[in-house]
Chain A
Amino acid sequence: MIGTAHFLALSAVLFSIGAVGAVVRRNVIIIFMSIELMLNAANLAFVAGSNSLGSMNGQSIVFFVMTVAAAEAAVGLAVILALFRNRQTVAADEIALLKW
């Protein structure tokens, strides 16, 4: 029988994969996708928790996470577009103008 623990474990694995992707990849778009993956892992944990506690709060929060993720994707991709237009690159380590 599959219980909440299984879903939480799956969520943890997905989150870690997303975290690794955000750290090791250089392509900004892939970093961005890894962040989406982490958000979704958190969503899975919320829905699993909501199911095991019998409370709808988890599902409501997932709804908000999705909305914010959609807003984030729109702005983030616009930033990437503007960045690419100015510097012709999407490699995160070449975008170091503000670094000292």
Chain B
Amino acid sequence: MSPLVFYPLAFVCIASAMGVVLSKNPVRSALCLVSALFCLAIFYVFLQAHLVAALQIIVYAGAVMVLFLFVITLLNLESDRGLGERPALSGIGFCAGAFVAASLVAALSSAVAPGSRGVVLPQTFGTTKVLARQLFGDYLVAFELTSVLLLVAVVGAVVLAKRDGSYEGDEQDAAPARQSEEAPH
């Protein structure tokens, strides 16, 4: 990957990530996160992970972030105070973050010799076939378990988000909502 592509893209990626943390408006944070995730997908393409790049966009940009935006608009969140409320604590947080970043960068750079290109990759590296063979072979149990996890997550999300809570104690709160919605069950 040429530096001419890497550095601008990395800059956009980091700027978007900063935008997630610094924006006052949650919608803007979410859109910044989408942009950061999109940049990561482009990096994956250059790292010969085409399938992962496509999945990154389909899963994150197409599903997860839409869900985030949906919840934000549903809750009708106005801009909050951002970082302005406790500047001293935020400052400490950022200093600590910068320290973590510096030490991580130092540690990781020393772990890999700079400029090392590693091994020569086979032509089929990162293709769907190879990845699928691994997922349905070596990681079959884990793969099946994630499907169970997803099912549990779906059921859990429905139970948690259901408006007319099935608890008896919530009856008073839920009553008006139930009238207006006319629950189908």
A interface, CB within 8 angstroms of B: 1-21, 23-27, 29-30, 32-34, 36-37, 40, 43-45, 47-48, 50-54, 56-57, 59-60, 62-64, 66-75, 77-82, 84-85, 90-91
Contact = CB atoms under 8 A, between A and B. Distances in A.
Contact of B6 (A6, A40, A77, A79): A6
A63 B18 CA distance: 25
B18 A17 contact: yes
A71 B97 CA distance: 28
B18 to A, nearest CB: 6
- Would you call the interface of chain B mostly helix, strand, loop, or mixed? helix
Residue among A3, A16, A18, A69 with max Cβ neighbours from chain B (10 Å): A16
A18 B121 contact: no
Interface in B81-110: 83, 85, 89-90, 93-94, 96-98, 100-101, 104-105, 108-109
Contact of A56 (B85, B108, B125): B125
Contact of A75 (B17, B135, B160, B163): B160
21 contacts: A1-B117, A3-B112, A5-B114, A10-B14, A12-B105, A13-B105, A15-B100, A17-B17, A18-B17, A20-B96, A21-B21, A30-B21, A43-B40, A56-B126, A64-B146, A67-B150, A73-B64, A75-B156, A80-B75, A81-B161, A90-B75
Interface residues of B, number: 89
Interface string B131-145: 100110011001100
Given A59-B52, A74-B154, A78-B158, 14 more contacts: A4-B117, A10-B14, A12-B108, A13-B101, A15-B100, A20-B94, A30-B20, A36-B33, A50-B49, A56-B126, A60-B138, A67-B149, A70-B153, A77-B67
Nearest to B94: A20
Contact of B116 (A45, A47, A52, A74): A52
B108 A14 contact: no
B160 A78 contact: yes
Contacts of B161: 77-78, 81-82
A37 B17 contact: yes
A3 B114 contact: yes
